[in-house]
Structure 1
Amino acid sequence: MWCLQLLSILLIATSALGAEEDVLELSDSDFDSRLAEYETALVMFYAPWCGHCKRLKPEYAKAAEDLIRNDPPVTLVKVDCTEAGKETCNKHSVRGYPTLKIFRNGEFSQEYKGPREANGIVRHMKTQVGPASKELKSVATLETFLASEKESVVIGFFEKESDLKAAFFKLADKLRERVQFGHSSYEDVLKHQGVSDAVILFRPAHLKNKFEPNSVTYSGPAETADLNDFVFKHFHGLVGVRKSDNQRDFKSPLVVVYYGVDYVKNPKGTNYWRNRVLKVAKEFEGTVNFAISPNTEFTHELNEFGIEFAQTDKPKVAARDANEKKYVLKEEFTPENLLNFVNDVLAGKLEAYIKSEPVPESQDGSVTVAVAKNFDEVVVNNEKDTLIEFYAPWCGHCKKLAPTYDELAEKLKDEDVAIVKMDATANDVPSTFDVRGFPTIYWAPKNKKNAPVTYDGGRELDDFIKYIAKEATTELKGWDRSGKPKADKTEL
């Protein structure tokens, strides 16, 4: 047993080393001369101590293993900016780590702005070389193309010029950074496929299953927009593999099953659970979207659903309905429990999960504290104009603002205005409020709580007073509309 474990460790280490060897390491002495040898190269400028670089390196190595075998190949390069590559990094204005740049024939071409995980890097860099659609000149080339892709591909088969062919190439240009396209007009390829004018979406080999066809043929009008809709309707199949770089493709109502999804190290185990999800997803085809996600990549999302994760656990299930309300499968994952869970979500039989701190027992301070469970009470239905700050406990700007915000609330305690704050890291923020940084402040007039306005004014007391005085539904008792204190109000 010990020998088998040792062999397994050695195989994994050898595999990782092999991938690492596909990344070319260059320095000041050979960067320009060696890079000029490659038509297209992606260069990672890094520092050995950088945490982000350490996380990127294994993904970068995996991508290099695929891209070096691409036709045409893409070379992945790395340069240590702290040692042998200092001058090169300075020359190319590297200010942070890791910095990724695309070079062509040794000359800088553009900043890399694509994903930073292996599949995303591969997909993005393939769009940087060659035409938007790869020409498939033989049956063998077709089969190699299909076998090499890790996501769905779209292939056009055209015996002659047609409206469908024109729409296909327009779409290929439009989606070249997101989808792999291929095409052929060769007789043996068309004969092999049994078509003369068709566009077909092929699913990758590792996702083939008995619940849906391995390919889908387009049957709509010869319009680019309709073809685009077809591609995105079928691209991920009944149960897509949802990752950080494609999660926006999956729309609500959505059921996500989280577990150790890994088609590199454990394809058999990954499909064991996916097939059970597919069995249920087939029952809801066209009404509910389903996906599987790697739990290690979405621990933050699991936390948003109140789900504790351990690597030995069975799959965990979370869902969002059409209104973005959240639900969690509390029972152990089985196809039967999943089926019942989805039916109950659709029927409105389950209580939605709300991430919330406890409702405060009292509101002693001048600033009213909102949590998810009392948000409607203290913000939406309070019948007052409301200024609400969404903050994070660790945020330095929020801490700096706190004394001013407290003073503002004290100044306005006798006005028809509520000054509210909510910890947006510990509570679900209603979808009406878009919070992307801290602090985020909104003004919600009492008669327009469904249309709050982002406050982007100054952060001094006088700035807040002037804004509220101007925007208040009813003129303040102590200040006129310009923010000047009224006669019976002491100076600020």
Structure 2
Amino acid sequence: MRKRSISAGFLFSAIITFSLLPIYADEHKFSIDGKVIDLDESNFDSAISSFDYVFVDFYAPWCGHCKRLSPELDKAAAALAELEKPIVIAKVDADKYRRIGDKYEIDGFPTLKLFMHGVPVDYNGPRKADLLVRFLKKFVAPDVSILDSDIAISNFVEAAGPHFPIYVGFGMNESIISKFAIEYKRKAWFSVAKDFSDKVMESYDFDKVPALVSLHPTYDEKSIFYGPFDDQFLEEFIKQNLFPLCLPINSDTLKMLRDEKRKIVLTFVEDENDDKTKKLIKLLKAAASANRDYLFAYAGLLQFQDFVETFEISTKTKLPKMAVWDGNEEYFNVIDSESIGEDDQGSEITRFLEGYKEGRTVSKKISGPSFMQFLNSMMGFKLIFLVVFIIAVMMIIHTLGKSDEDDASERPLRPDSSEVERSGDKED
């Protein structure tokens, strides 16, 4: 009887266990309803594997930037859920759930990543809801969009928006650029126009095919490439046109330089919105067009003082001033050709470039953090907790030391018998 009752009890437990399994599984099913999903260690992996595209906000409750980002994510979630290939927005408290934070090397808040079929990709784009939606739409778009009419071309360029360079191949087979469209998908839009009119050729300023046109809508720039269309020359054209002719340096564009290999011809100005500066930028663009081996950029002391001052520039420095920057810690001043006067600025820019190419330079180190340190200037939580830990240890040591002093001052000069016994025991 006892064996039967144990078997019956075991069978009953098994039935109950298996009957509860579907309920447990349901706890990890997610729906696309336009709302931000809260994740933790129990459901993070399940959520990432449930959707093709998941945009994850790794945040900390005490982070001010995270608090400002949260309502923007709420707005974006609804729009992204309506895409043909929907993107789900999720968030996880990486300060609380350290295992997740450590796994994805989260050392600052907020950190944003897009998981595409389970593979994380860093997101460094804008964080306002409307711009964030435009950026993320690109990740789920075809690698190369096929355009079959003038209207399709116009609609593609409009939908792509102004925030990424756009490449349109005319009279080309998509296989020619598909390799690079995949490689540079995070940085640009790619398309091939199969059918188009003479009016389009006139509008985009090319007169023969095949032709690859690059567009920078924000800067009203375009460039035409007629070949040769082998990998080396094609990729060189694509890479050189990922940036405008003269890039304004700010907190957003600075992130774009992470993978840039070219030296940066950097011009410092007082105010980048000043009329004199705008005239100078036109001259810099002309120089950039003739010197594609370099990336040209400018930074305003008024707009980005913290960055500009790392190059030993202050309000007392005569501006405009030029330098060649390696994109990290080192930069070069050209001897007797740093500052740009108001007369014949084009010639002075040319003289500066010639001086650099001839090696008439002085090498210097930026006075502040390196480029990567500058980008990651927000203190990561690991460093915060290290500092807190050190302070806590010092306080404990100080407290213990003070307690020993207090005990010593209160201890009688003649020890009692128990103390004598204890000291005798130690000697034995």
Which band: TM-score by shorter chain?
A: 0.5 to 0.7
| Whole-angstrom CA distance in 1 between matches of 2:351 and 2:78 | 45
- Partner residue in 1 for 2:7: none
Aligned position for 1:156: 169
Counterpart-to-counterpart distance in 2, 1:253 and 1:95: 29
- Give the counterpart of 2:313 among 307, 318, 321: 307
More helix by share: 2
CA distance in 2 between partners of 1:46 and 1:289 (Å):
34
Q: 1:128 aligns with which of 135, 139, 162?
A: 139
Give the equivalent residue in structure 2 for 1:239.
246
1:207 aligned to 2:219?
yes
- Verify: 1:222 aligned to 2:229, yes or no: yes
**Quick check: 1:321–1:345 contact (8 Å CA) kept in 2?**
no
> What letter corresponds to residue 141 of structure 2 in structure 1?
G
Aligned partner of 1:40 in structure 2 is 53
Q: In the TM superposition, what is the alpha-carbon distance from 1:143 to its structure 2 partner?
A: 1.8
2:53 maps to amino acid:
T
Match of 2:122 among 93, 109, 113: 113
* CA deviations over 1:314-358 (Å, ceiling 9, x no partner): 975332189952259876x77647435424424549985665xxx
Rounded to whole Å, the distance in 1 between the matches of 2:90 and 2:276 is 37
Q: Return closer, same or farther for 1:39/1:155 CA change in 2, 3 Å cut-off.
A: same
CA-based RMSD of the aligned residues comes to 5.5
How far the C-alpha of 1:233 sits from its partner, in A, is 3.2
Contact 2:145–2:191 (8 Å) recurs in 1: yes
Quote the Cα distance in structure 2 between the aligned partners of 1:250 and 1:256: 18
Question: Which whole-Å deviations, capped at 9, do the CAs of 1:251-273 have from their partners, x for residues lacking one?
Answer: 33613345676xxxxxxx48984
Provide the residue aligned with 1:318 in structure 2: 322
Q: Using the TM superposition, give the Cα deviation of residue 228 of structure 1 relative to its aligned residue in structure 2, in angstroms.
A: 1.0
SS at structure 1 position matched to 2:154: helix
1:258 to 1:425, Cα distance in 2 relative to 1, 3 A: closer
The Cα offsets for residues 339-385 of structure 1, whole Å up to 9 and x where unpaired, read as: 35424424549985665xxxxxxxxxxxxxxxxxxxxxxxxxxxxxx
Kept after mapping to 2: 8 A contact 1:253/1:324: no
Report how far residue 55 of structure 1 moved: 8.4
Matches within 5 A, 1:262-273: 269=273, 273=277
Q: Distance in 2 between matches of 1:296 and 1:59?
A: 28
Q: State whether residues 115 and 124 of structure 1, in contact with CA within 8 Å, keep that contact through their aligned partners in structure 2.
A: no
- The gaps in structure 2 that reach 5 residues or longer are 1-33, 202-206, 374-428
Higher RCO (Cα < 8 Å, 6 or more apart): 2
Classify 1:101/1:205 alpha carbon distance in 2 versus 1 (closer, same or farther; 3 Å): closer
TM-score by length of structure 1 reads 0.48
1:290 to 288, 293, 296: 296
Deviation string, structure 1 residues 271-297 (Cα, Å, up to 9, x no partner) = 984453113442564246522346588
Show the counterpart of 2:155.
144
Q: Deviations over 1:92-134 (max 9, x none)?
A: 9788543444356xxx713332436559977874553232112
Distance 1:168 1:110, change over 3 A: closer
Structure 1 unmatched ranges of 5 or more:
1-22, 209-213, 262-268, 356-423, 430-434, 437-492
Q: Percent identity?
A: 19
Structure 1 residue 177: Cα displacement? 2.6
Match of 2:25 in 1: none
Could you tell me which amino acid in structure 2 is paired with residue 154 of structure 1? Answer: Y
Task: Look up the equivalent residue of 1:179 and give its one-letter code.
Answer: A
One-letter amino acid of the structure 2 residue matched with residue 240 of structure 1: L
* Deviations 1:60-112 (CA, angstroms, capped at 9, x unpaired): 79988997897756454445567xxx7899799788543444356xxx71333
Cα distance in structure 1, aligned partners of 2:337 and 2:81:
43
Of residues 160, 172, 188 in structure 1, which corresponds to 2:181?
Answer: 172
* Count of matched residue positions in the alignment of Structure 1 and Structure 2: 315
Distance in 1, matches of 2:175 and 2:122, equals 29
Aligned match of 2:384: none
Aligned to 1:279: 283
Task: Give matches, 1:22-33, under 5 Å.
Answer: 24-27=35-38
Equivalent residue, structure 2, for 1:458 = none
Cα drift, residue 179 of structure 1: 2.3
**Does the Cα contact within 8 Å between 2:114 and 2:122 map onto a contact in 1?**
no
Q: CA deviation at 1:141?
A: 3.4
Alignment match, 2:263: 252
- CA–CA distance in 1 between the matches of 2:262 and 2:155? 32
